Amino acid sequence: MRCATYWSICCKEHERDGATPTSARFLFYELVQRGQLSKHSTGARRPDQDLHDALTDIREDGRVPWHWIVDETRSLEDYTGYNNVQNGVLAQLDHVNIDPWHGRAPMILTESRSLAGVLRPIAQEYCCRIASTNGQCGGFLRTDIAPRLRPDDQVLYFGDLDLSGGQIEANTRRVLEQVIGGALRWERIALTQKQVDDHNLPIIIKHDRRYHLTASLPPEDCGDPPALAALAFLNTCQRLGDEFIESAAQDVHQDGLA
């Protein structure tokens, strides 16, 4: 009962702040940070299993709408088409966008699949491109991301502030710039040390098993990007979107005067 109450309050706070949809993972870490839950198991069940049960309960009884929570691990692919061309065209009209970026839309890359789901509505609103690397990867960057980039494109990156997060970001940038043959305008939006300081995020000690026997590379202090910072991520993305749109509008105006 207490878990369900925590979930309900937390979800409604996100809705109040305009931070929905969100994910179960972010909500879990937010409650952990508040000291209302523990990340450590006390029995056979994972620490988040009771929460997932409670989250199902409060959505089934109507306290929280189902669409407030996104699930990035599942999707429906529908290739059935339409019964005629006219209905197909009419169904897609609302989804046709005119590119305000003139072919240079910013690419939003997230290390976390869950964070990509939370940011996707903002990317859609500002006609951006968004993808998750889901950790370290190589093939996906070369086959799906690099073909959509060219030198001097803007990349907005969201990743963990720890040893592995830094390595994943460095590899992602290195692979993309190598494949496209030039530098990208790369900017880490979150998580940054300034955000950790400004939001007073706790420092979590993690042990990187890759360096378990390497004395020169001890485990590092690291700040995870939990749900507490999700709203700051969204606000940052919106602010940058406004700046890009204003800049594009100025370029169009100057071209008209030329």
Q: What's 135's domain CATH number? A: 3.40.1360
Q: What are phi and psi of 237, to 5 degrees?
A: -65, -40
Domain match, 151 and 236 both: yes
Q: What is the pLDDT, as a whole number, of residue 184?
A: 98
User: Does residue 90 sit within a domain?
Assistant: no
For each of the chain's 258 residues, which pLDDT tens digit applies?
566 776 677 778 877 877 778 888 777 777 777 777 777 766 777 777 877 888 888 889 988 888 888 887 787 888 889 999 999 999 989 888 888 888 888 999 999 888 888 788 888 888 889 999 999 999 999 999 999 999 999 999 999 888 888 999 999 999 999 999 999 999 998 888 887 788 777 676 666 666 654 433 333 444 444 444 456 666 766 676 677 667 766 765 565 555
Domain match, 242 and 157 both: yes
Expressed as residue numbers, the domain containing 206 is 100-257
Q: What is the pLDDT, as a whole number, of residue 252?
A: 56
> CB of 25 within 8 A of CB of 72?
no
Say how many domains are in the chain. 2
Helices (H), 109-199: 113-125, 139-140, 163-180, 193-198
Domain match, 175 and 238 both: yes
Q: Does residue 35 sit in helix, strand or coil?
A: coil
User: Does residue 220 sit within a domain?
Assistant: yes
* Pick from 190, 247, 245, 176: nearest CA to 223: 190
Q: How many angstroms separate the CA atoms of 162 and 225, rounded?
A: 10
Domain match, 65 and 179 both: no
Measured over the CA atoms of residue 43, residue 29, residue 122 and residue 177, the dihedral's sign is negative
Report which residue type is found at 121: P
Q: What is the pLDDT, as a whole number, of residue 215?
A: 37
* Pick from 54, 50, 71, 51: nearest CA to 63: 54
User: Does residue 82 sit within a domain?
Assistant: no
Domain match, 53 and 130 both: no
Distances (CA, A) of 23 to 7, 14, 133: 12, 11, 17
3-state helix, strand, coil in the chain (%, to 5): 50, 10, 40
Q: Which two tokens mark 80? A: 């059935």
Domain match, 222 and 106 both: yes
Domain match, 18 and 121 both: no
Which of 20, 50, 70 is the endpoint of a domain? 70
Q: What is the pLDDT, as a whole number, of residue 116?
A: 85
CA dihedral 160, 195, 146, 177 (to 10 degrees): -100
User: Does residue 88 sit within a domain?
Assistant: no
Q: What is the pLDDT, as a whole number, of residue 8?
A: 77
Domain match, 240 and 116 both: yes
